Each structure stands twice: as structure tokens, then as C-alpha cells.
Structure 1
Amino acid sequence: MKIMHVDASAKRERSNSRALSRYFLERLREEGMDIEVDYLDLTVDTPPHVSEAFTIATYTPSHERTAAMKATLAASDALCKRLLDADALVFAMPMYNWSMPSVFKAFIDSITRTGLTYLFTDDGHTEGQLARQRVLFITSRGADLRAGSPYSSMDALTPALKAAFGFIGVAAPSFVDAQPLQFSDEAARIEALERARTELTAVAANWAAWAKSQSASALDIHARQAVSA
């Protein structure tokens, strides 16, 4: 399985979201999965923010683009290809002021591309192209935004991620949210991280089972084709 792993925390070794994403990949390997990781650290390789040139180029039909337009879109084209080539996507990020880090928003702007990650159908609707990828969002949150908490209505991150990736074809992403990690006592922080690790272990087992079933189906199809030949 080829996994695109994206980190977006401004912190380094002190980052909880980075640590949890590493933990998840370790659990996949423990499940016996053969994974190839395409890693992207958005704090190091931040996509350019949307510019006038980018906007004009991306909505110009590909056969009409000038050399300058193609150059403007080159980095975005490459990012889109990395997503489309992956079998699964793991996105890890902290919540900043109720939503996503600005580097991840720049990433979304760069990979939401007509003709690449979504297409217009004959009846005028859009069709996302990331329907086959399994997607996991790992988030860390300073406050407790779970249902029933005083801050639950202030979660702008989850709906934004569901909307952005739903548009490009991701219908049912998984979410593992570690919370509360900042505005809490030490016991609550330890409990939040342990809860997140438990959930990630379960997601890893689910992905491993799915990968095994896919492999078995492929072998069965190959065997039937060999017999019919």
C-alpha cells in the first residue's frame, strides 16, 4: 500500500499530531502491512498561496495554457499526482484557533484542481477523483470539543476537512482527535493521548484487514483469468 503522509504542525519533536501519525504508521507495520510512504512536511515545503496567476491558469483549459501558466501550475500538478497515485492518505495536524493550520489550507487550495482532482460531468455536476483512497485525519486540539463540552460548537476544523475532501471524492474519511491537550490537567492530557492511540490501533487493524481482502480478491481474479485462458 502506498501512503501519502502529510504533517502540518509548526512544532517539531514536541508535536502531538506528528507523534500520533508516526504511531499509526508503526501500527500498520505491526499489522504486517507492506507500506510505501510518500512523506510531506508542509511546514518545510509549503505550497504557494493562491495568486492571480494561479487562479487564471487553473481555470484555463489545459490545451490553451501558455508556458508561463504551466510553470505556475507545475507544483500543484505534482502534488495532485502524488495524491492520486497513493492508495491511502494520512493527514496529521493541530487545530489552530478552531480550524486548520494555514499551511494545510494552502495545501487544500493547491490540490483542489479542476481536471485533476475533480471533473465536470456532462450534466454539469462535479465528480471527485479521490474516491478509491482511504483517508485518515489525525488532529490534536487544545480544548475538548467533543459533544457535550462547552466548546463543541466551535469546531470549524472537522466540517471544513469533510467539505474540502468530500468535494474531491473522499466520502467517508476517518478522524482520530486527541483532545484536550492544552486547556486541561496532566491526567486529562494523558487520557486524551491514550484514547487517540487506542483509536489509531483500531484504524490500523481495519486498514490491514481491508488490504488483505483486496489482495485476496486480486489473487482470485488472477486465478480465474488463468483458468479461463
Structure 2
Amino acid sequence: MKILHVDASSKFHQWSNSRALGRYFIEQLQHKGVELEIDYLDVTEDVQPHISAEFVQATYTPQAQRTDRMREVLAESDALCQRVMAADALVCAMPMYNWTIPSTFKTFIDNIIRTNVTYSLHEDGSITGNLGDKKVLFVTTRGADLGEGSPFANMDAMTPVLRNTFGFIGVENPWFVDAQPLQFSDEAAREAGLKKAREELDAVSEEWAMSLVSADVIVA
């Protein structure tokens, strides 16, 4: 299985819960005997360019009609889309910043939502996402508890952004594991939140491993 593993925390590696949980999930897959090829991307270090007027013009120009300058403007995005399309699965780990996704992950999204690359635009105006064959896991960390029944539950702008954005490019049922509450809680609540997240990651890794076994049986 080839995994594109994306980290989006601005914290140093040793202080980041989202980075640690993402690594934990990869380790659990390996412990279950899944052979992995990891393509790692840290969007806080390899920062994608913001969308510009040139980018918009180039991406909506048919490929055969693009100028050299247009191809230059799209080069980084093209390469990133190729990495996404080449992966069997995406593991995206990130903290919640001000109720939503980190800005660096937003630029990642902006660079991979590409007409007739990650989604197809048909003559009748309908759209088909092209990532329907990918497993996608979002590992998120939240300072407060935004779960059902929490006074902050309606502040979660992160989940709908991720679900709807990736749904547009074909990912219908992504996995979500949310570690909460972390920063704005006492030590016992933090530890409980992290323990619950690790248990959920264990379950997802088991599900992924079993799906690979089932696929091998069907192929055989």
C-alpha cells in the first residue's frame, strides 16, 4: 500500500500531538503486517503556493492550449496532483486552528482540486471526482471538546470543510479520528482524549489491514 502521509502542524515534531498520532497509525499498519510505501509531505515546510490569477487562468485553459508560462505556473500543482493520484491512501494529520483547518492545508487543497485531473468536468456541466478509489484518514487534534453535546459543537468548521472538499473529488466516506479536548483541559482529560484517539486509530488500522487481505483473496 502506498500512503501519502501529510502533516500540517506548525509545532515542532516532538511537541505535536497530531504528528504523533499520524505516526502511531502508520506504525499500527506496519505491526499488522501491511507492506507500506510512504510518500511524506510536511506542508509547513514544503508550503504550497497560494492561488493566483495566473493559476486560475492556466488551470481552466485546455492543456493543449497552455503557454510555457502557464505550464510553469501549474508545475508544482501538477507534481502534487501526481503524488495524490499515485497513492492508494492519504493519511492527513492536523490540528484545529481557530475552529478550522490550518492555512497550509488549505493551500494543499487548493493545489490538488484540479479540473480534469482530480475531478472531471463533463460537457453537460456535471462533475465526477477521480479519487473514489482512495482510502482517506483525517487525524485531527482540537484544544476544546467539540463533540456532540459540547457547547462548542457548532464551532467545528473543520469536519465539514474536509468532508465536503474531498467528497467533491470523489472521497465519499473518509475516516475521521479526532483527539479532544487537549489544550484547554486538565491532564486527565487530555490523556483520556489521546487514549481514545489511539484506540480509534487501532480500529481503523485493523479495518484497512483486513480490507487489503480481502482484496488479495478476491484477486487470487
CA distance in 1 between counterparts of 2:160 and 2:117 reads 23
The residue that corresponds to 1:116 in the other structure is: 117
Number of matched pairs? 219
TM-score, with length taken from structure 2: 0.98
Once the two structures are TM-superposed, the CA of residue 217 in structure 1 deviates from its matched residue by 1.4
Matched letter for residue 62 of structure 2: P
* 1:10 pairs with 2:10: yes
The residue that corresponds to 2:194 in the other structure is: 193
Give per-residue Cα distances to partners, 1:209-229, cap 9 Å, x unaligned. Answer: 00111111122xxxxxxxxxx
The residue that corresponds to 1:144 in the other structure is: 145
Runs of 4+ in 1 over 6 A off after TM superposition: none
The residue that corresponds to 1:180 in the other structure is: 181
What secondary structure is seen at the aligned counterpart in 2 of 1:184? coil
What secondary structure is seen at the aligned counterpart in 2 of 1:99? coil
CA distance in 2 between counterparts of 1:34 and 1:41 reads 22
The residue that corresponds to 2:54 in the other structure is: 53
Once the two structures are TM-superposed, the CA of residue 131 in structure 1 deviates from its matched residue by 0.1
CA distance in 2 between counterparts of 1:216 and 1:36 reads 21
The residue that corresponds to 2:24 in the other structure is: 23
Once the two structures are TM-superposed, the CA of residue 56 in structure 1 deviates from its matched residue by 0.7
Once the two structures are TM-superposed, the CA of residue 120 in structure 1 deviates from its matched residue by 1.3
Alignment of 1:40-79 (within 5 A): 40-79=41-80
The residue that corresponds to 1:171 in the other structure is: 172
CA distance in 1 between counterparts of 2:172 and 2:113 reads 15
CA distance in 2 between counterparts of 1:165 and 1:68 reads 29
Matched letter for residue 8 of structure 1: A
The residue that corresponds to 1:224 in the other structure is: none
Greater Rg over alpha carbons, structure: 1
What secondary structure is seen at the aligned counterpart in 2 of 1:49? coil
Q: What percentage of aligned pairs have identical amino acids?
A: 58
Q: Supply the RMSD in Å over aligned alpha carbons.
A: 0.6
Long gaps (5+) in structure 2? none
* 1:126 pairs with 2:133: no
What secondary structure is seen at the aligned counterpart in 1 of 2:171? coil
Give per-residue Cα distances to partners, 1:171-219, cap 9 Å, x unaligned. Answer: 0000000000011100000000000000000000000000111111122
The residue that corresponds to 1:161 in the other structure is: 162
CA distance in 2 between counterparts of 1:186 and 1:93 reads 21
The residue that corresponds to 2:37 in the other structure is: 36
CA distance in 2 between counterparts of 1:218 and 1:79 reads 30
